[in-house]
Amino acid sequence: MNTEHDRVDVRGVVSFVAIAYVPAWLLTLPLWLTGEGLSWNWAPLILVIMMFMPAVAALVVNKWISPRPKLLRSLGITNPGGIKKWWPYVLIAWLGPPLVMALALLVGYLLGVYQADWTGFSGLAEQTGPTVVGSAPQTPPGMIALIQIAMVFGLGWLQIIPALGEELGWRGYLTQALLPLGQSGVFLTTGVLWGLWHVPVLILGYNYPTLPIVVAVIMMVCFCTLVGTLLGWLRLVSRSVWPPTIAHGFLNAAAGLGTVFSMAGHPVDNGSVGLLGWTGWIVLVLLILVLVMLGKLPVQFPAEMVGITRGVNRRSRR
């Protein structure tokens, strides 16, 4: 892994950004040309393919533009020590995002911007109930809520596949490539680039459909910077791309929890509710501060120093 004493590979980083951005943005053209935007039948597939463009960019840069030895290790697909070194972080990556999302909803509720029905699940029943007026729902709202929550913790593993497409790029390649900027510089730069990468779909109403475009872009950049700091921490502390990939997948899976606990007649506003909203950022900032206070951030990773003879290494902490 690069240290903060290396130089940034400008050619590689610029090439990565160009390859990650241009094909992804071009993929959104059909959404515009059809005039249907995100409601187009093929839009979900377009968005999934778009998520793989950062991975394509990382592979192209590492293989042909700025070749590096040990391609898989440089991207964090493999790492020194193997799975034994990063599997303890899987629990954080799996359970952390849904719990953090629940905390974000609680903060929104306490601040009065999220109208919740914690036990009646009336908002969920409103969305999933029968359309015939006066007819009784076939499944109790509590059972529907339980199924939805179980799907977050279970089927969320399927979200890891598209999440890997993004994480191989933003955390697998870019986080490592920008380490000479210092870890705070890495998290800020990666967060801004990751957020701006979403611009074409944000204009179409993705994530923040009720907000002006400029405000939506600013909020997405803030969200990506805060979440990207935590994902970047997982990448550096585990020296693997898999924990942040798992966490990213479960972040996506937990996005619907706001609807599960909402109150009927009060649609969820992503601008103020959940991790996408400003009340959720309070939770993310607190988590980052906790890592700093515990001495876990910035990450102190070991560096190898060559000994007098081949095969003799001394290890120190940076």
How high is the mean pLDDT of the chain?
Answer: 91
Gyration radius of the chain's alpha carbons: 21
Residues listed for the chain:
318
Give the residue-averaged pLDDT of 84-96. 94
Phi then psi for 315, rounded to 5 degrees?
A: -110, 135
**pTM of the predicted model, to two decimals?**
0.92
317 three-state secondary structure: strand
Phi then psi for 18, rounded to 5 degrees?
A: -65, -45
Structure tokens at 94: 């799996």
Please tell me the predicted confidence (pLDDT) of residue 318. Answer: 45
Please tell me the predicted confidence (pLDDT) of residue 187. Answer: 98
Residue 223 CA to residue 217 CA, distance in Å, equals 10
For 13-51, the DSSP string reads HHHHHHHHHHHHHHHTHHHHHTS-GGGSTTHHHHHHHHH
Structure tokens at 86: 């990063």
Structure tokens at 278: 């400003």
Per-residue pLDDT tens over the stretch 165-183: 999 999 999 999 999 999 9
69 close to 249: Cβ distance less than 8 angstroms:
no
Give the residue-averaged pLDDT of 99-113. 98
Residue 215 CA to residue 208 CA, distance in Å, equals 9
Per-residue pLDDT tens over the stretch 115-155: 999 999 999 999 886 544 444 557 898 999 999 999 999 98
Type and span of the H or E element at 288? helix 278-293
Residue 105 CA to residue 2 CA, distance in Å, equals 38
Give the residue-averaged pLDDT of 243-272. 97
> Among candidates 281, 292, 164, 163, which has minimal Cα distance to 223?
281
Per-residue pLDDT tens over the stretch 283-302: 999 999 999 999 999 999 67
The angle that helices 213-238 and 242-253 make with each other, rounded to 10 degrees, is: 140
Instruction: Specify the range with the lowest mean pLDDT, choosing from 145-154, 202-211, 230-239, 305-314.
Output: 305-314
